[in-house]
Amino acid sequence: MFVLVNLKTYPCDPIEVAQAAADVADDSGVRVGVAPQAAHLEAVAETGVETWAQHVDPIDYGSNTGHTLAESVAEAGADGTLINHSEHRLKLADIDGSVQAAERAGLETVVCANNPEQIGAVTALGPDAVAVEPPELIGGDVSVATADPDIVTDAVEAAANVDEDVDVFCGAGISSGDDVDAAGDLGASGVLLASGVAKADDPRAVLEDLVEPLV
């Protein structure tokens, strides 16, 4: 089970969260990653935590002012990248281009989608993993694994029907070890979460609770 913490643009200390995640991963043996803002990638990577970008663009070297180049993300120390998060949606052709750009730079990929039908479509693009995140539950107090378990099991089935080698994660409302445990029971091999850690007074305590069922 992979626990990936997306810091979005929350006003948290990315180094504090990253160090907490690195310590919890070392102590528990659970895979934990952190996705900070692009400007913080290098500093976060220096903590030793598995570091992820929040986005890369479907571009190559050249005249692309304001875009995020996959190679630059990799050079900053990132191990992987999210693509098509519900707060940064892309057209299918651009998702494909971003996946190819990430692969070119040696980055692992997680492509987000809103529902099982979209999960099937993006799985066909060959990412390392896909993540189902119903937008209406993102940032809420109820996890997708509790509020709508069928969407997780249907997403797992949709991905498997296209490519059994693509992992399926789930996100939206994940905030506790019980949520992580429920996600695993539904067939997910990873979870995405954000506010539960990024807005916590004690990120390490929250992370320790999240991984407890996995130890």
Question: pLDDT tens, 196-215?
Answer: 999 999 999 999 999 999 98
Total domains, the chain: 1
The pLDDT score that the predictor gives to residue 118 is: 96
Q: Binding site residues, as ranges?
A: 6-8, 138, 173, 194-195
DSSP state of 214: G
146, 148, 149, 151: CA torsion to nearest 10: -150
Q: pTM for the whole thing?
A: 0.94
The pLDDT score that the predictor gives to residue 192 is: 95
Q: Which of 40, 50, 55, 133 is catalytic?
A: 133
Domain enclosing residue 40, as ranges: 2-214
Please say if 71 is a catalytic residue.
no
Q: Which of 40, 50, 55, 85 is catalytic?
A: 85
Q: Which residue has the tokens 């067939």?
A: 187
Q: Secondary structure of the chain: what % helix, strand, coil (to 5)? A: 45, 15, 40
More confident residue, 181 or 145: 181
- pLDDT above 70: residue 35: yes
Please say if 85 is a catalytic residue.
yes
Determine how β-strand 2-6 pairs with β-strand 167-171: unpaired
More confident residue, 93 or 141: 93
Q: How confident is the model at residue 140 (pLDDT cuts 50, 70, 90)?
A: low
Look at residues 165, 185, 6, 18 and name the one whose alpha carbon lies nearest to residue 85: 6
**CATH code (residue 160):** 3.20.20.70
The pLDDT score that the predictor gives to residue 141 is: 63
More confident residue, 138 or 52: 52
By three-state DSSP, how is residue 206 classified? helix
Tokens read off for 21: 């995640």
The pLDDT score that the predictor gives to residue 138 is: 57
Round to whole Å and give the CA distance between 7 and 18: 10
Round to whole Å and give the CA distance between 59 and 150: 36
Q: How confident is the model at residue 24 (pLDDT cuts 50, 70, 90)?
A: very high
The pLDDT score that the predictor gives to residue 144 is: 65
Q: Binding site residues for substrate, as ranges?
A: 6-8, 138, 173, 194-195
Residue 64, amino acid: N
Please answer whether residues 192 and 133 qualify as being in contact, where contact means their C-beta atoms are separated by less than 8 angstroms. Answer: yes
Tokens read off for 59: 């571009």
